[in-house]
Structure 1
Amino acid sequence: MARQKEFDPEAVLGQAMAVFWAQGYEKTSMQDLVQHMGVHKRSMYDTFGDKHALFLKALDHYTSRAEATFRSTVDSITDTRAALRALIEGSIEAGTEHSRGCMLVNCATELAPRDPEAAEQVERHFERTRQLLVDLVARDRNRRDAEALGTLLFNAWLGLRVQARAGQSPARLRRMAETLYALLD
């Protein structure tokens, strides 16, 4: 008879996500993961696979949560400019918390350039986020420039995320973001 898991895989995955997010892929050792996740190494391998597989699952966990938050914000705020402001403000707050930046942007710069699986996952999330911003702009009456403006907003949003990781203050990021809101006028 197979032994039942003595831990909640979702909770443990969240702990792995936090370690990778704080330290990055390269600086995170298997010992760091075992220690922070509170599981035996064998159980971790049996449940998640190797470090790389665990990282990709943790990244997927992160992106699923981020996308759900984005979607919820867009769906709950009918005014386009107010929705964009809420998205950007949420990103600034999340990105400057503990100076961790955005886990996906961190992965895009650390691992994706040499890891095709990570690059594919980053690109998938980036495209879904870009499309969400295009859709947000498009709902503001009959904007013909929704594709271009949504893509511009996406790229600016990414820039803010990188700036947050680089240590820019929330106040400075908010000043930068004011220009974005004016684009919707």
Structure 2
Amino acid sequence: MARTREFDTEAAVSRAMELFWTHGYEATSVRDLTQHLGIGQGSLYAAFGDKDGLYRAALAHYRTTLAAAALRDLEEGADARSAVRTLLTERIRIAVGQDGRGCLAVNAACERLPEDASVRRIVRDMQDAGRDALADVLRVAVERGEIAPRHDPHTLAAFLGTVLNGLMVSSKITPDPRALESVVEVAMEVLG
């Protein structure tokens, strides 16, 4: 007779996400995870397969919660320029304000790629969703005359995504929002 799982897997994934986000994949051991989650090693393996499975679940949770909230904020922005500026400056504020944790997706890319193909897919899917949402906002902004039509919205969204990724890495090196926000102003000039 199979044992019933005795813990909330969604809560465990959320707590594991925080641990991976704080320490990274490599510096987080299975023992750290079982202690932090309050579960046995057998339960972790039964629920997630292994540490990699739990890490992938944590990244997926990040995408559906925090990354999805950023995209909603972008789409609900009053105008494109304000929405883009807010997206970039808020991500800086969050990255610097969380003890330098940065962005979990960018951290995963820096730590796990190019070797980990499954993490690459998850991060690429997150990046693609962000780029596509941003491209939609920019396309509408061009149609309304809010921004200059000199760049293709998809390419411009890819550029802004690259700037955002760079800002997330730079926030670990220079955790000074004012210094990083000056880069945002340069990126905003591209919008025309």
Question: Which position in structure 2 is the counterpart of 1:150?
Answer: 157
5 Å-filtered alignment, 1:14-163, equals 14-96=14-96, 97-142=98-143, 143=149, 145-163=152-170
Q: Distance in 1 between matches of 2:173 and 2:109?
A: 14
Residues 113 and 119 in structure 1, CA contact (< 8 A), matched pair in contact too: yes
Unaligned runs of at least 5 residues, structure 1: none
In the TM superposition, residue 165 of structure 1 has moved relative to its aligned partner by 2.5
Deviations 1:34-59 (A, max 9, x none): 11111122111111110011111111
In the TM superposition, residue 167 of structure 1 has moved relative to its aligned partner by 3.6
Residues 16 and 58 in structure 2, CA contact (< 8 A), matched pair in contact too: yes
SS at 1:147 equivalent = helix
In the TM superposition, residue 140 of structure 1 has moved relative to its aligned partner by 0.4
Residues 131 and 154 in structure 2, CA contact (< 8 A), matched pair in contact too: no
1:70 counterpart letter in structure 2: A
SS at 2:114 equivalent = helix
Deviations 1:68-117 (A, max 9, x none): 21221123213001111221122112211211111111111111211111
Q: Distance in 2 between matches of 1:11 and 1:160?
A: 30
Does residue 178 of the first structure (1) align with residue 179 of the second (2)? Answer: no
In the TM superposition, residue 61 of structure 1 has moved relative to its aligned partner by 0.8
Residues 75 and 137 in structure 2, CA contact (< 8 A), matched pair in contact too: no
| Alignment root-mean-square deviation, CA | 1.6
1:7 counterpart letter in structure 2: F
Unaligned runs of at least 5 residues, structure 2: 144-148
2:191 counterpart letter in structure 1: L
SS at 2:99 equivalent = helix
- The ranges of structure 1 where at least 4 consecutive aligned residues each deviate by more than 4 angstroms after the TM superposition are none
Aligned length: 185
In the TM superposition, residue 6 of structure 1 has moved relative to its aligned partner by 2.9
In the TM superposition, residue 15 of structure 1 has moved relative to its aligned partner by 0.7
Query: Percent identity over the alignment?
Result: 34
SS at 1:172 equivalent = helix
In the TM superposition, residue 3 of structure 1 has moved relative to its aligned partner by 4.1
